[in-house]
Amino acid sequence: MSRHDVVPEFDRRRLPPGPKLPYALQTLLVWQCTAPFMRYCRRRYGPTFTVHAYPGEASVYVTAADDLKAVFTADPDVLHAGEANTILGPVLGRRSILLADEEEHLRRRRLMLPFFHGDSVRRYAEVVGEIADAEIATWPEEKPIRLHKRMQAITLEIILRAVLGVEDPARLARLRVVLRRIVELAPGVLLMWVWPKLGRVGIWRRQLCWQADAEALLSEEIANRRAAPDLDRREDILSMLICARYDDDSAMDDDELRDQLMTMLLAGHETTATGLAWAFERLARNPSVLARAECAVREGEQDYIDAVVKETLRSRPVIYDVARVAAKPFSLHDYDLPAGVTLMPSIGLAQQSEAFPDPDAFRPERFLGETAPPPYGWIPFGGGRRRCLGAAFATLEMRMVIERVLARVELSASTTRGEWALPQHITLVPARGTRLRIRHKARSSRDSRRLQQQRPRGKYHCARDSCGEQSGVSLPSLLATLPRSAQVQIAVLGPLLLGAMSGFLLDTSAVGYWAVQAAGTAGGVSSGMEHFGPAAGARRGLAAGALFGAGLMGAHAISNQRILTYVPHPLVLIALASAAIGAALGGVGGVARRRWEMQRG
């Protein structure tokens, strides 16, 4: 089935201007180069432009304040957000509030909104603080860590305790494992939303199994909570939703409750964790703002930390745009848009407009005093009737975690250049995971050295943190410590290796065989030096060598137009040799990295 069987065609003369690139290329640019491509389109075509990319046929991007107001305040029977979110249905559940429109959406929103505002949110501040303190206590001293993973651990724990209200330690442990599998999606999993038949094989089939396990566990939790004798006295969101009633005195059934829990889990976990990761990334690379924020924490100035949260979400939006499908013809500025067009209010472009002086600078002071953001200029949670239900909860969560982190640790970045925004599924995350070095303020330098010496470590212990992350140096920083002569040799060898690979693809000479072996060697060394100890290095080196060898074998078969039917016998042997070499040199690299870290202290 082609895309033309799924989405309607539109007369481009009735739409705002936009790039005339092929549909597939525009789709790739929208999903993989989101911010640069959107900024280019606005510079080239103006504040309103049309992009032709999946999942729609024509998407009209809106960035001007007046147009944003028109979209966000449109009648719910004219613009449908739930229809635009249909692609999320297999994950969120068909009865999710994000997929509802018109009266059904308003009905569910009226029921759920009171539990995410005012005192209902503030009552969770203590729980958020306790969870943040417990996580911070596990952070290693004076070592680079990726704070994005740490923030994911915090936000997941908050959902388990504040939203689900789980208290039993065994049950918490089980839910952590099952739910983490579905919220931390592997790359490529979302392709299943485009081609559902992928769910029959590979990682997609595994993801569907994990999702079924999570839904079964949530259904079990709902059933147990309904039977709890103290249900009407509990303060977690699940218990309050079970007790809540619609205007006709009906209640949510188990399936609807499960879908709303899945929505809160998937929409509230990753977005808040990513917002926190961006906050610390921005603070670490703006020392004056970091110092001012630390002072605000000491003096209890919550307004400044709130401003840090707002400026983070302005300068580094987690969600770059939202979507509305026109159920009826819709007038926008000088255009009469036909039904079926998708309107895309662009959060990222609106918050980088001229309404904010020097928009690339990180200045929380924008949100202090009388300098309030312009109407529809700051919209990280969307706007109108579809504004994010959990906006107040997420803001409280971010402020509490930032206060706890700044009160207990010192942050520093190894480079002044910030991390770029990497598209990951529907969010924009720090490309290196907010890789920062931390030092606990409560520990003296002598205490820190003693703690490092007391840390249990075998002969070749692999230092893993509670999130499963391996701490250590990256390959570029390790190469920077090599002698100048070694760096020159590597710089010369790299182009020669690429040249050999190119010759291999164009010719069947023995140069190609040597390229396979060289590739296995390079893979083993680079992979080994990224891991601690010979065992881990050898395993990764073996995998890298085998991957290089298998890939070049496939390229050789393709170049001979004998795909999967012919592979020269010597090439198989050399591919195996490359894997062996990769394993051996991976082990050597692992030992080298261990010694290098020991010399560093």
Q: How many other CB atoms are there within 10 angstroms of residue 267's CB atom?
A: 22
Describe the chain by its helix, strand, coil percentages, rounded to 5. 60, 10, 30
- 334-356 pLDDT, tens per residue? 889 999 999 999 999 999 988 88
- 423-458 pLDDT, tens per residue? 887 899 999 899 999 999 865 444 444 444 444 333
Where are the strands (E) in 400-556, listed by range? 409-412, 421-424, 427-430, 435-440
- 468-519 pLDDT, tens per residue? 444 344 445 445 444 444 444 455 445 445 444 444 444 434 444 455 455 5
Q: Which residue has the tokens 């979110």?
A: 85
Q: Given a cut of 90, is residue 9 above it in pLDDT? A: no
Where are the strands (E) in 406-482, listed by range? 409-412, 421-424, 427-430, 435-440
pLDDT in the model for residue 167: 87
Q: Given a cut of 70, is residue 295 above it in pLDDT? A: yes
Average pLDDT over residues 370-394: 88
pLDDT in the model for residue 146: 92
Is residue 185 very low, low, confident or very high in pLDDT (cuts 50, 70, 90)? confident
pLDDT in the model for residue 83: 92
Cis omega before residue 55 (within 30°)? Answer: yes
Alpha carbons 48 and 343: distance in angstroms, whole number: 10
Average pLDDT over residues 138-155: 91
Q: Is 5 left (phi over 0), alpha (psi -120 to 50) or beta?
A: alpha
Q: Given a cut of 50, is residue 563 above it in pLDDT? A: no
Higher-scoring residue by pLDDT: 36, 505: 36
Q: Which residue has the tokens 């919209």?
A: 379
pLDDT in the model for residue 521: 54
Q: Given a cut of 60, is residue 138 above it in pLDDT? A: yes
Average pLDDT over residues 155-174: 91
Instruction: Residue 344: name the closest of 106, 67, 109 by CA.
Output: 67
**CA dist list (Å): 265 to 130, 180, 189, 261, 518:** 20, 10, 18, 6, 46
Q: Given a cut of 90, is residue 273 above it in pLDDT? A: yes
CATH code of domain 97-440 = 1.10.630.10
Average pLDDT over residues 354-370: 88
Task: Tell me the three state secondary structure of residue 6.
Answer: coil
Chain centroid to CA 502: how far? 35
pLDDT in the model for residue 143: 83
For the chain, the structural domain boundaries read: 97-440, 478-600
User: Which helix or strand (DSSP H or E) is residue 144 part of?
Assistant: strand 144-146
CB 436 within 8 A of CB 413: yes
pLDDT in the model for residue 218: 93
Alpha carbons 207 and 191: distance in angstroms, whole number: 12
As a whole-number percent, the residues of the chain with pLDDT over 90 amount to 46
Q: Which residue has the tokens 């921005």?
A: 282
Q: Given a cut of 90, is residue 324 above it in pLDDT? A: yes
CB 151 within 8 A of CB 121: no
Read off the pTM: 0.74
- The tokens of 93 are what? 């559940």
- Torsion sign (Cα): 435, 436, 437, 441: negative
Higher-scoring residue by pLDDT: 164, 182: 164
CB 330 within 8 A of CB 10: no
Q: How many other CB atoms are there within 10 angstroms of residue 542's CB atom?
A: 24
Alpha carbons 85 and 239: distance in angstroms, whole number: 27
* Mean pLDDT estimate for the chain: 79
- 45-77 pLDDT, tens per residue? 999 999 998 888 899 999 999 999 999 999 999
- Torsion sign (Cα): 258, 259, 260, 264: positive
Is residue 414 very low, low, confident or very high in pLDDT (cuts 50, 70, 90)? confident
